């Protein structure tokens, strides 16, 4: 399953999301930085970090914990 973490530079919430994902044993994911993309900023600006499943397009907004993450990945 391909995952993308939509995030910004210097985002403490994004850092926390990385920590939750690592602790939950999430497989590898691709980061998507929205800092230089006005369209992505408009879509995700107040929601980041957002974890997206590329197979379904489903998105999990922050805040999430290991249990919510596990359910999202099933």
- Give pLDDT, residue 38: 96
Q: At 27, is the pLDDT very low, low, confident or very high (cuts 50, 70, 90)?
A: confident
Write the class of the CATH domain 3-73: alpha beta
Q: Where are the domains of the chain?
A: 3-73
| Three-state SS letters, the chain | CCEEEEECCCCHHHHHHHHHHHHCCCCCCEEEECCCCHHHHHHHCCCCCEEEECCCCCEEECCCCHHHHHHHHC
Mean pLDDT to the nearest integer, 6-19: 96
């Amino acid at each position: 399953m391909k995952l993308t973490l939509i995030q910004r530079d210097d985002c403490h919430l994004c850092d926390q999301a990385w920590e939750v994902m690592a602790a939950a044993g999430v497989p590898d994911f691709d980061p998507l930085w929205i800092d230089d993309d006005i369209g992505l900023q408009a879509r995700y600006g107040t929601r980041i970090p957002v974890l997206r499943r590329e197979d379904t397009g489903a998105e999990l907004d922050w805040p999430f914990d290991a249990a919510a993450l596990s359910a999202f990945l099933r």
